[in-house]
Amino acid sequence: MALIPASSGSESVIAEVEMNGSSDQATTTVRATVVQASSVFYDTPATLDKVEKLVAEAAGYGSQLILFPEVFVGGYPHGSNFGLVIGNRTAKGKEDFRKYHAAAIDVPGPEVSRLAALAGKYKVFLVIGVVERAGYTLYNTVLTFDPLGKYLGKHRKFMPTALERVFWGFGDGSTIPVYDTPLGKIGALICWENRMPLLRTAMYAKGIEIYCAPTVDFMPSWLASMTHIAVEGGCFVLSANQFCLRKNYPPPPEYTFGGLEEEPSPESVVCSGGSVIVSPSGTVLAGPNYESEALLTADLDLAEIVRAKFDFDVVGHYSRPEVLSLVVKTDPKSAVSFTSDSSDAYKTSAGKSDHVLKT
């Protein structure tokens, strides 16, 4: 393992952790980087500027796939409760949500176009967590882009955890894609939905080979989960988390941290990272890093997947479908569906259905 300083002139300390940097780059080897850094909270344009800086740096090390943390664009509201107690929401909490909503992005939208252009400019696969705005509901979403600058699609988090259910909507089975790419089959699940065995099994059934797990979990047990998934799925697991300090959030009283006896100091660590890359054998290739913002890079030998599957193929030779099986419902779930028939009161003069009355 080598620790390579970032280029001069950078305000933040970004370290490159490069594994197997001298190995022969055969066609079965993929160089992947997980980004451990903080968002610029409430400032999406500045966050996108930071994304470009980090993508450029990782691409400079020859990375072909770059993973950013959960909701990197839009930010994770550590310490906030949005003024919520049972039976009441405060005026400040509602204003906090308004600002959070304003920092989210539309998918598709101009920010998505910019991210796609970045992937094309630096010729990388880019997987990045964002706060998606769909009308007045927000989603914890992962977007994927290819080196041609094409937006491939999204995954919305299935099950927001605890108080996250107050400010994020729920994904459904229509957004659990695995992309068949020249680097291998790439997909993503977010944070604690990686603890959902049936959801993991669905990803395995789609043949996932490079399993991305953006997160905000920095507890020691997270490494155990990532190692287990790598061995269980016979795949490479990449997990990216933010490393952020209190000063990366607006100062009080604009932004306060609840549940603490006193307001943390500006240098207090809010999220300590723990980003990691694990091989199908359970070997940790890079990380975990709990010390600073960092770029963690490893060379993934895809031949390891075949060796691991020889031991254990969870949806193949090690499955028992006559005893245990799984049905995944992939149709989108909408709150409202519109139908039309001969008595439709919303028929226009042209005979086409128009469910929004125009005046």
CB 296 within 8 A of CB 276: yes
Residue 51: Cβ within 10 Å count: 23
What does the alpha-carbon distance between residue 281 and residue 225 come to, in Å, rounded to a whole number? Answer: 14
CB 133 within 8 A of CB 105: yes
What does the alpha-carbon distance between residue 105 and residue 93 come to, in Å, rounded to a whole number? Answer: 20
Residue 183: Cβ within 10 Å count: 21
What does the alpha-carbon distance between residue 150 and residue 248 come to, in Å, rounded to a whole number? Answer: 31
The SS3 of residue 174 is helix
Mode of pairing for the β-strands spanning 15-18 and 284-289: unpaired
Residue 134 CA, chain-centre distance (Å), reads: 17
Instruction: Give the pair of three-digit tokens for residue 235.
Output: 């795949």
**Which are the contacts of 170, defined by CB distance < 8 A and separation ≥ 6?**
156, 157, 158, 159, 160
For the question of residue 206 being annotated catalytic, the response is no
The residue from 154, 191, 235, 271 that is catalytic is 191
CB 295 within 8 A of CB 36: yes
Instruction: Give the pair of three-digit tokens for residue 38.
Output: 């903080």
Q: Rg of the chain's alpha carbons, rounded to an integer?
A: 22
For the question of residue 271 being annotated catalytic, the response is no
For the question of residue 191 being annotated catalytic, the response is yes
* 5-11: long-range pairs with CB below 8 Å, 24+: 6/57, 7/57, 10/53
Residue 16: name the closest of 281, 296, 275 by CA: 296
The residue from 57, 70, 111, 132 that is catalytic is 70
The residue from 16, 18, 111, 157 that is catalytic is 157
- DSSP letters spanning 75-143: ---TT--TTEETTEE-HHHHHHHHHHHHHSB-SSSHHHHHHHHHHHHHT-EEEEEEEEEETTEEEEEEE
**Active-site residue numbers?**
70, 157, 191
